[in-house]
Amino acid sequence: MKDTLIKKIRSRQAVIGICGLGYVGLPLAIRFLEEQFSVIGFDIDQSKITQLKAGTSYIEHIPFDMLAESMASGRFDATTDFSRCNTLDAVILCLPTPLNRHRDPNLSFVVNSIETILPHLKAGTLISLESTTYPGTTEEEITPRVQDAGWRVGEDMFVVFSPEREDPVNPHHTTKTIPKICGGSTPACLEVGQALYESVIDMVVPVSSTAVAEMVKILENTYRAVNIALVNELKTVADCMGMDMFEVVKAASTKPFGFTPFYPGPGLGGHCIPIDPFYLTWKAREFGLNTRFIELAGEVNTAMPDYVIGKVALSLNKHKKPLNGAKVLILGMAYKKNVDDSRESPSYVLMDKLLKQGAIVEYSDPHMATLPPRRDWDFSADSVELTPETVQQYDCVLISTNHDRFDWDLIREHAQLIVDTRGVYPVDGERIVRA
């Protein structure tokens, strides 16, 4: 079956299923379509399916015209009907893996999906998990369920783990060009997984097991989380000493070796960095180990919104205004610049904390006309259009996300007070304050 499936993949006759049509799954579906595969996208959110069939996209940087030709030709379809998995030769799981309130892994999306699709799969199908999770997940949660369904892993069913590495709106690194890690439950599984991803990705990097592939993704994001925590902590020290940490990082970046620049901010956001390191922390407890470095980094990064709110209150106080009752405009609700993705965005935390302290809070984000509800927050608000008149009416403009589409000259000219968490402006100590 292995050789038959590989031949089918290489001849572009394989039908690919993508479970989860979000920021990872939809670009991956497009990549397979670009290589002339037939693709079926699955999602439990009917609104996504409805929008795709209506010819619209729900992700700003992925216009529908990237899918239109494939949908018109019949090579792409989107559905909530998981019984259609019976036509697939490969199914790729691109599902959320959030933490619960106790920072324990929530694998319900992955587990529910695999249990839903398994009864419909045919012999000789590849299952690939791309969702970031703790080392051991594939062999503890996916493989046993495949075996319990009566399949022999590596013989009539193939299982791999290949972590997603998406970086939305980055023109230099795309789904096609970002190297793909792949680990298989057996050597035969890895061979099939490599064949699948080599058909659409420029470079596939095989590793010895699914656990190693899982650990690779955890390392990548823990590396970033720890280094961001370092510069966030140094930011508070530099501020007390009258220095601008953005200037420090910029100068240090001139060193051509031994230094990688990381920049401070209002906290961590996105679907990976705030979450993934704690998957490893949770798993390490099984072995009686404490990941003190990761936990300390988490404490530092989690404290950043409080630090920013303190700077807002102090800056308003210097302008003889209390935070309670002050009008504050948050610039940017997305977790990073130039995207419409607000998952785990610290801007939500900032808005929540400001409101609880009595501030009147609004936001402006050219990529988010209205605020989508998030797991812990559901603010009903619309984006404010930035004009000289609207900017002037706020006691404080808080820069949380530095989108390129903001008119930074207009903001600087008309704002009464700017608290800048992203290093957009030079600090003047009075009207423009770094946080």
Q: Look up residue 86 and give its DSSP letter.
A: G
CA 336 to CA 179: how far, in whole Å?
22
Output the pLDDT for position 272: 73
Residue 296 φ/ψ, nearest 5 degrees? -65, -40
CA 216 to CA 47: how far, in whole Å?
34
94 carries an active-site annotation: no
Show me where the domains of the chain are located: 2-213, 225-434
Q: What is the pLDDT of residues 6-63, one digit of tens each?
A: 999 999 999 999 999 999 999 999 999 999 999 999 999 999 999 998 888 899 888 8
Q: What is the pLDDT of residues 291-321, one digit of tens each?
A: 998 889 989 999 999 999 999 999 999 999 9
Whether 150 and 157 have beta carbons less than 8 Å apart is answered as: no
Output the pLDDT for position 101: 73
Whether 374 and 343 have beta carbons less than 8 Å apart is answered as: yes
CATH 3.30.70.1350 fits 225-434, yes or no: no
Residues 6+ apart with CB under 8 A from 240: none
Half-sphere exposure of 249 (CA within 13 A, CB side): 19
Q: Is the fold of 2-213 the same as that of 225-434?
A: yes
Stretches in the chain below the pLDDT threshold 70: none
Residue 154 φ/ψ, nearest 5 degrees? 95, -10
The tokens of 367 are what?
């990529």
Output the pLDDT for position 17: 98
Assign 329 to helix, strand or coil: strand
The catalytically annotated residue of 85, 94, 272, 396 is 272
Burial, 38: exposed, middle or buried (Cβ in 10 Å; 0-12, 13-18, 19+)? Answer: buried
Residues 6+ apart with CB under 8 A from 265: 228, 232, 304, 346, 421, 422
Residue 139 φ/ψ, nearest 5 degrees? -80, -20
Domain boundaries 2-213, CATH class: alpha beta
CA 429 to CA 408: how far, in whole Å?
18
